[in-house]
Amino acid sequence: MNVLFWLSIGLDRRTPSEHLLTAMIEALYKRGHTVHILQKDTGGHIKELYPKLRDLGVTTTKIEMSPVEHGNLVNRYVSDVGYVQKAKSWLKVNGHMFDRVFLQSSNVAGFQVRVLKSCMPQVPIIFNIQDIFPENAVYSGKLKKNGVPYYFFSCLQKYAYKNANALITISEDMKSEIVQLGVNADKIEVIYNWSYQDDPYDISLSEDRDIRKMLPHDTFNVVYAGNIGIMQNVEVLIDTARQSTDPNIVYHIFGDGIYKQKLIERAKNLNNVKFWSMQLTEKAPALYSCADVNVIPLAHDIYRTALPSKTATCMAVRKPIAFCIGKTSAFGREVMRKTGYECFDCNDTRGLLGYIEKIKKGLFKFNTDAFFVEYMSVTKNSMRYAEIIENAQ
């Protein structure tokens, strides 16, 4: 079976999803299938496929596109529609070569599915939903739910949900949101994103010299690492730091994004908040391992439409996690029940500070190993993707 992976991104730049895509493709090759990747080329420094993919024999077609500023929703959408139109020309000629299409999470999935139905109508489509658009834009305040833009975007995405043969999303909360949009629950599989290996990480990672220069042993380090945008609600760390009276607790924010400068201004008079640039992907496990507490925050109700990809790696390093995503989250409640971690509403600074202080005093007990191995195994979860792609009808 020859599978087309139609990506909404370009692998010419580093992406948080590259380990997910690589594992899915490796699983397909283990089952005797082949993969061709249709992707953007935005002029990034990575000219070829990752070594693992090249060694498997994966081939690729690149569609030249100009890079677009991440925070500009309108320009990004217009650019993505243009990408679909360019890809359509290629699919008209080459679509007959494929037995399945794996559609990566995309804000223009409605246009993509229409193109696929036109160019290769008999080929099953598997749509992987890593975030739910335009609902995520509504919950973050970028769109009004009763507005014409929302109606336009929503109708197109619903077309994709209806006409894809199988849907895969990454949390029970997201599945519930999709079901509320009128999609049959039986059509949707939930597979959590995974980290970089099957087993939890060794404690020796917490002695990484590069990271320890920023997170020294003689301070209690509370860490957020990731994109700094409207959906992440990183403000909760700064507001918690403002209430903290313990000079030994330091709040570290690693990353970049459109709201970083605003956060720097917000923390201007706080000595217990430090900002750092985004670290290399390879350093992520060590970074989380060197933290005393990892904070995973989201803006109000965003848990319904997304789950941060770093969740699995944070669990794998066996360090305390504070989920500031919303107490009504089904994922949050399940994690609390099975690991001992605590989940807070997105702006509960008092609860977060109390949790941090309790951890610092050694009064907190948790165990993530069983949860991680059961739900976030690279091998198990990537094979589930391969099976769904293989069996889609």
Confidence of residue 71 (pLDDT cuts 50, 70, 90): low
324-345 average pLDDT score: 95
Share of the chain above pLDDT 70, in %: 99
Q: What angle do CA 196, 336, 383 make, to 5 degrees?
A: 35
Report pLDDT for 281: 87
Closest residue by Cα to residue 364 from 330, 335, 339: 339
Distances (CA, A) of 278 to 83, 257, 262, 287, 330: 28, 10, 17, 11, 30
Of 111, 112, 140, 142, the residue nearest 38 (C-alpha): 112
Q: How much is the pTM? A: 0.94
Cα 250 to Cα 245: distance, rounded to the nearest angstrom: 11
Q: Is the pLDDT of residue 74 over 90?
A: no
Could you say which DSSP state residue 123 is in?
Answer: S
Residues 222 and 358: their CA atoms lie apart, in Å, by 13
From CA 41, how far away is CA 62, in angstroms rounded?
5
Distance of CA 265 to the CA centre of its chain: 27
- pLDDT at position 309, please? 87
Scan for tokens 């069996």, then name that residue: 391
User: Which pLDDT belongs to residue 189?
Assistant: 98
Q: What is the mean pLDDT of residues 172-192?
A: 97
- Looking at residue 68, its pLDDT comes to 82
Is the predicted pLDDT of residue 237 greater than 90, yes or no?
A: yes
* The total number of residues written for the chain in this structure: 393
In this predicted structure, the answer to whether residue 73 has a pLDDT above a threshold of 80 is no
Taking the C-alpha atoms of residue 234 and residue 236, their distance in angstroms, rounded to an integer, is: 5
Residues 6 or more apart in contact with residue 294 via CB below 8 angstroms: 223, 224, 225, 288, 314, 317, 319, 320, 321, 322
How far apart are the C-alpha atoms of 283 and 13, rounded to whole Å? 17
Mean pLDDT of the chain: 95
**Furthest C-alpha separation in the chain:** 65
Of 199-208, 291-300, 364-373, highest mean pLDDT: 291-300
The 10s digit of each residue's pLDDT in 17-59 is: 899 999 999 999 999 999 999 999 999 999 999 899 999 999 9
**What's residue 67's pLDDT?**
87
DSSP letter, residue 164:
S
